[in-house]
Every structure is written in C-alpha cells, then in structure tokens.
Chain A
C-alpha cells in the first residue's frame, strides 16, 4: 500500500516556466489537499478538493491552479513560476474531515 505519492521529489524551475505536480493516493480518500511549507510559517493550504471533480481555494491560492479529474489524483499547476514560489510542497488526503491526514513525501521546488 503506497499511501500518498508525489511526483517529482525535486525540481528547479526558471522564472516564468510552468510545471505540474502530481499527487496520487491509493486509499480511496475523498478529501485531498495541497500545502506549501516555508520556514517559520507552518503548513499553508493552497487548494483543496472535497471529491472528484471539485476544487476550492485555500489560504494562499494565487499563482496556482488545481484539478481533480480522477478521485485518486490531485494535480497542482504553476503557470508562470516566480521565486516566491520556492518552497516545499506537500499533498495530503483524508477519508473524513475529522480523521488522520496522510501526507506525501514532499516536493522541493526551487525557482531561480
């Protein structure tokens, strides 16, 4: 059972380039989340999904887009990367709102 898997693990982008981060979960969870983690700022929610075909904005959505075409996958896109998007990105999934969130291993993104 793989749990939550993120692809890629590391990436370096030039300013203005685009990319997509993939999150895949094999637990049939309804809820999926994308967070960014910066020193001293904890885990800040970018976007989330409460089911296949749904998405909603979190705390820091600007500059990001998401899609959840399949229940098991949640994609995070950066259309035009900026140095301020340098961060560690975590995907997470839960079956219910008041149950454990399972996190992916993280993606370290550097924008130069």
Chain B
C-alpha cells in the first residue's frame, strides 16, 4: 500500500509570510493528491486537490505543486493570516486494488499576528 510522509510536523510563520508543507509518497501509480485543513476541535475539510495530469494548481492564496518523478507534492500558502492556523494533512490515493487514500501525519501551522 501507499506510504505518505509529511514535513514539517509544526510550522510557525509571521502573518503575511508564506508557508510551505511538503509530502512524499511511495506508490508511483498514485494519481490523486488532496489536502485537508483541520481547525482546532473541528472536522477535516478539503482545501485543494491535484491530479497527476497537472503539475500545479492554484486557488487564491493556496497552491499545490506535484513532482511525479520525485514522488513529492507541496502545499504553498501565501500572505498567511491568523485564520490559516490549523493542522494540514496531505494524502495520496492508493493505486491497484486499494480503494482508499492514505494520509500524512499532519502539520500544525501557527500564524503569529
């Protein structure tokens, strides 16, 4: 099955700075990579996803890049705001007969006002 590693586990940035979270995956056939945001005490919610036929996707201040050759993908948040403070999870879809996604261990982002 898929193995997803996520770094860093914690990240502190000043408001207005950029934040980058990186993930690697093991299954070269994986073709779907979502990112979820979980605010304190709440449920995870999808913020952006990317499929393997594209290298980059943007949605306002959030972008995700995918490097299939190196088997890694990254989340970029620009002009960070205090409401960006949360735990972020990357994930990758298992290929073959595994009908599920595998999550990374999460990154706790703190945006300091």
Query: How far, in angstroms, from A45 to B93 measured CA to CA in the complex?
Result: 13
Determine whether the beta carbon of B104 is less than 8 Å from that of A101. Answer: no
Closest to A45 in B: B100
CB-CB contacts of A2-44 with B at 8 A, as 1s and 0s?
0000000000000000000000000000010101000011111
Closest Cβ of chain A to B73, distance in Å, is 14
Interface residues in A77-110 by Cβ distance below 8 A to B read 90, 97-98, 100-101, 103-106
Determine whether the beta carbon of A42 is less than 8 Å from that of B104. Answer: yes
Q: Tell me which of A42, A44, A59, A105 has the highest count of chain B C-beta atoms within 10 A of its own C-beta.
A: A42
| B103 in complex: contacting residue of A40, A43, A106, CB < 8 Å | A43
Q: How many of B's residues come within 8 Å of A, CB to CB?
A: 23
Asked if B22 is at the interface (CB within 8 A of a chain A CB), the reply is no
Closest Cβ of chain B to A90, distance in Å, is 7
Number of chain A interface residues as a range: 20 to 34
Query: How far, in angstroms, from A33 to B34 measured CA to CA in the complex?
Result: 16
Determine whether the beta carbon of A100 is less than 8 Å from that of B34. Answer: yes
Determine whether the beta carbon of B49 is less than 8 Å from that of A100. Answer: yes
B51 — which chain A residues lie within 8 A by C-beta?
A: 98
**Given known contacts A33-B100, A50-B99, A105-B43, is B89 in contact with A98 (CB within 8 Å)?**
no
